[in-house]
Amino acid sequence: MAERVVIAAETTWSRRRRRLTWGRVARGSVPYWLILPVLGAIGAILGYPLYRLFRLAFQHYGLEELIRHSGQPVGLHNFGHVLHDQIFWHTLVRTVIFTVANVGLTMGIGTLIALLLVRVSTVVRVLLTAGLVLVWSMPVVVAVQVWGWMTNYQNGVVNYILTELHFGDYFQHNWYGSTFSQLAIVTTLIVWGALPFVAITVFAALAQVPADLVEAAQIDGAPPWRVFLDVTVPIIRPVLLILTSLSIVWDFGVFVQPYLLIGQTHITPGNYLMGIYLFEKGYFDNDYGQGAAISILMLLIVATLSIFYVRKMVRIGDVD
Amino acid sequence: MVFPVFWMISSAFKPTDQINSFTPTWFSRHPTVSHFTTAVHTPYFWTDVKNTLIIVSVTVTVSIALAFLAAVALAKYRFTGRKLFIVLVIGIQMLPGAGLIIPLYVTLASYHLVNTLTGVIVTYMTIVLPFSVWTLRGFILGIPKELEEAAMVDGSTRLGAFVRILLPLVAPGLVATSVFAFIQAWNEYLYARIILASQGKQTITVWLSYFLGTSRSTDWGALMAGSTLTAIPAVVFFLIVQRRIAFGLTAGAVRG
C-alpha cells in the first residue's frame, strides 16, 4: 500500500518534472528560433559562397568552367602561382604603406579636429559639426566624381587654388601622372571621407574625460601636451584603438575610391592596391581560381587585422 | 572640409562657359538648371533610379524583418552559442567587399542570378543584415526592462508585453535602422557594378560612374548635376538619422 503511494507520488512527480523540462526546453529554444532566419540567410548568401571560395581556390576555373559549372582540381597550384607572383608582393607592400599613411592621417587629423571642437564656442562647434555631418553623408561614388572634377588636369580648381596661393605653377598639372601622385590624391579623398566619423567619435569620447582631472594636472603645472598625453589619451584610448583598427581594416580593403578615381584606363600593375588586384585578376581576367586564392589570402589578412575590433565588440555585446 | 560639397552644387548650376573657363567662378550670377535637364535625360537615368529603389526597398524590408527577430534574441535571451552568433554578426561586417566578389559572382552564376536585381538584393543582404541585427539590438537594450516587467506583473503574457510595450517603443529604432540600411544600399557600388552588366539594368551609382567616360570633353556640369541628384536622398536621410545611428559602431566603447 505504502509502496504504491510512493510509486504513484514518484510517477506524478517525475511526470510533472518532465513537463517542466519540456516547458523549459520549449522556452529555451525561443532564441534559437529567433536567430534561425538570419542564420539561414547568412548561411545561404555568405556561408555557401565562402565554401565555394575554398573549393575554387584549389581548382582551375575560368570562363569555360563558369559556363559548365565545374572546375578542374589543381591542388595548391593557384596559391603557388600567386605567392611566386612579384605583382602580389609589390601590391601587398604598396597596400600596407598606403594603409599606414591613410590611417595615420585620418586618426591624426581627426583627433585634432575633435580637440578643436572641444575648445571652440558653441556656435562654432555646431557649425563645424554640421559641416562634418554633411561630408559624412556624401556617397563615395559622388565624392569620387567631385574629386575627379576638382583635380582634372585642364581646369581643375585645385590647380587654380594652388597656383593662386603661390605653391608653384600648377597650371594644367596632371595629378594622375605618377603612381605616387595617383595614390596621394586617392588618400586625400579617403581621409576626407573618413574624418567626420573619427572626429565626431573622438569628440564624444573627449566629453567623457573628467574636467577636474585635467584641471588638477594643469594646477600641478603640466604643459598642455603633457596633460593631453598623460591624462586625456589614457581615458580615450579604447575609442582611439577601436577607430584605428576599424580604419586599418577599411583602408586595407579599399576598392571604389582608387578604382574609380584613377580610372580603369590608368590602372596598371604598377599602382594596384589589394582590392583592385583582386578585381582585375579574378573578375577581369576571368581566372576565378587564382582570384579565389588571392581572396582567401586577403580575407586571412583582414581577419587577422580585425581580431582586436571583433573581440572588443563581442565583449561589449556579451556584457549587456 | 565642405568645399568639395559646395563646389559640386556650385558647378551643377553654372553655365557651361563658366565651367570650362580657366578661372573658376565661385558663385554664378546666372545659375542654370540646364545641367540637371541633361543629366535626367541621359539614357537610363530613370530606369536606374527605379532599379535602385526596387533593390533598396526589398533589401531593407526583408533584412529588417529578419534582423529584428535576431536582435530580440540577442537583447532579451542568454543562450548557448550567443557569443558565437555575436562574433559572426560583427565579423561579417569586417569582411572586405572586394574579397567576396569572386565567390558571390560564381555562386550567383550557378543559380542564374547574374544580371538580375534579385542577385543584387541577395548580395546586399550580406551588408545590411549583420549591421541591422547589431543596431536593433542596441535599440532594444535601450528600453528599460522595468516597463516590460510591469506589464507582465499586470497579467500580460511575455508575448503580450512584447507587442504592447516593447514594439511601440522600439519603432523609432526600427525606422532609423531602416533608413540607415536604405543609405547603405543606395550608396553601394562594387556589387552592383559586377552583378548588373547590361545597360538599363543598373543602379544609380553605376550610372553615375559611367558618366565620366574617358573622353577629354567631359560634360562636368552635367556630371556635377548627376552627382547632386545621386547624393540628395542619401544626404537627406543621413541628416535625419545621424544622431541615432552614428555611435552604433563604437557604442559602449568608452565604458569598455
Residue A136 covered by a domain: yes
From first to last of the 256 residues of chain B, give the pLDDT tens digit: 889 999 898 888 988 888 888 778 788 788 888 889 888 888 888 999 999 999 999 999 999 999 999 999 988 888 888 888 988 888 888 888 888 888 898 889 888 999 999 999 999 999 899 989 988 988 888 887 777 777 777 777 777 777 777 888 888 889 989 998 999 999 999 999 989 988 888 999 998 888 765 445 678 888 899 999 999 999 998 888 877 665 544 443 333 2
The reply to whether A100 and A6 lie within a common domain is no
| pLDDT of A317 higher than 80 | no
Query: Would the CB atoms of B102 and A299 count as touching at under 8 Å?
Result: no
Tell me which residue of A314, A312, A277 sits closest to A297, measured CA to CA.
Answer: A277
The residue count of chain B comes to: 256
User: All 3 cell numbers of residue B110?
Assistant: 550557378
Rg (CA), chain A: 28
Query: Would the CB atoms of B96 and A140 count as touching at under 8 Å?
Result: no
Identify the residue with better confidence: B212 or A74.
A74
Taking residues A280-294, report their average pLDDT. 83
Residue A162 covered by a domain: yes
The reply to whether A165 and A261 lie within a common domain is yes
Residue A72 covered by a domain: no
Number of inter-chain CB pairs under 8 A, A vs B: 269
Q: How far apart are CA B18 and CA B26, in angstroms?
A: 10
Give the helix/strand (H/E) hosting A76: none
The reply to whether A298 and A209 lie within a common domain is yes
Q: How far apart are CA A256 and CA A265, in angstroms?
A: 15
The CATH number covering residue A292 comes to: 1.10.3720.10
The reply to whether A47 and A88 lie within a common domain is no
- DSSP-derived secondary structure letter, B166: I
The reply to whether A26 and A146 lie within a common domain is no
Tell me which residue of A146, A93, A143, A14 sits closest to A271, measured CA to CA.
Answer: A93
Strand partners, A59: A73
Strand partners, A72: A60
| Distance in Å, alpha carbon of A308 to nearest chain B alpha carbon | 11
Tell me which residue of A317, A38, A314 sits closest to B69, measured CA to CA.
Answer: A38
C-alpha distance from residue B252 to each of A42, A152, A254, A314, B238 (Å): 26, 43, 27, 11, 22
A260 interaction partners in chain B (CB closer than 8 Å):
189, 209
Which of A 300-319 lie inside 8 A of B, CB atoms?
302-303, 306, 309-310, 312-319
Domains of chain B from N-terminus onward = 45-203 (1.10.3720.10)
CA distance between the termini of chain B: 32
Which of B 132-191 lie inside 8 A of A, CB atoms?
133-134, 137, 141, 183, 186-187, 189-190
B39 interaction partners in chain A (CB closer than 8 Å):
none
The reply to whether A179 and A238 lie within a common domain is yes
Query: A175 lies in which domain range?
Result: 84-319
Q: How far apart are CA B185 and CA B233, in angstroms?
A: 12
- Nearest C-alpha in A relative to B98: A275
Find the CB nearest B96 among A46, A66, A275.
Answer: A275
Provide DSSP, B14-63: S-HHHHHSSSPPSS-SS---HHHHHHHHSTTHHHHHHHHHHHHHHHHHHH
User: All 3 cell numbers of residue A213?
Assistant: 582631472
3-state secondary structure of A59: strand
The reply to whether A39 and A110 lie within a common domain is no
Which sign, positive or negative, has the C-alpha torsion A56, A58, A62, A68? negative
The reply to whether A13 and A105 lie within a common domain is no
Find the CB nearest B239 among A137, A263, A319.
Answer: A137
**pLDDT per residue over A44-67, tens digit each?**
989 999 998 888 888 888 887 777
Q: How far apart are CA B54 and CA A236, in angstroms?
A: 42
User: All 3 cell numbers of residue B156?
Assistant: 500580460
Q: How far apart are CA B256 and CA B254, in angstroms?
A: 5
- Nearest C-alpha in B relative to A131: B2
Average pLDDT, chain A: 84
Q: Quick one: pLDDT at residue A199? A: 93
A86 touches chain B (CB under 8 A): no
The reply to whether A93 and A38 lie within a common domain is no
Which of A 181-210 lie inside 8 A of B, CB atoms?
192, 195, 197, 200-201, 204-205, 208
Query: Would the CB atoms of A141 and B208 count as touching at under 8 Å?
Result: yes
Count: domains in chain A: 2
The reply to whether A39 and A120 lie within a common domain is no
Residue A33 covered by a domain: yes
The reply to whether A186 and A102 lie within a common domain is yes
Query: Would the CB atoms of A302 and B104 count as touching at under 8 Å?
Result: no
Start-end of H helices in chain B = 3-12, 16-20, 34-41, 45-76, 82-94, 97-110, 117-141, 145-153, 158-161, 167-187, 190-195, 204-209, 220-245
Return the residue matching grid coordinates 575590433: A309
Residue A73 covered by a domain: no
pLDDT band at A26 (very low <50, low <70, confident <90, very high): low
The reply to whether A102 and A31 lie within a common domain is no
B8 touches chain A (CB under 8 A): yes
| Distance in Å, alpha carbon of B80 to nearest chain A alpha carbon | 9
Residue A75 covered by a domain: no
Neighbours of A75 (CB within 10 A): 9
Query: Would the CB atoms of B90 and A136 count as touching at under 8 Å?
Result: no
User: All 3 cell numbers of residue A271?
Assistant: 599602382
B72 interaction partners in chain A (CB closer than 8 Å):
34
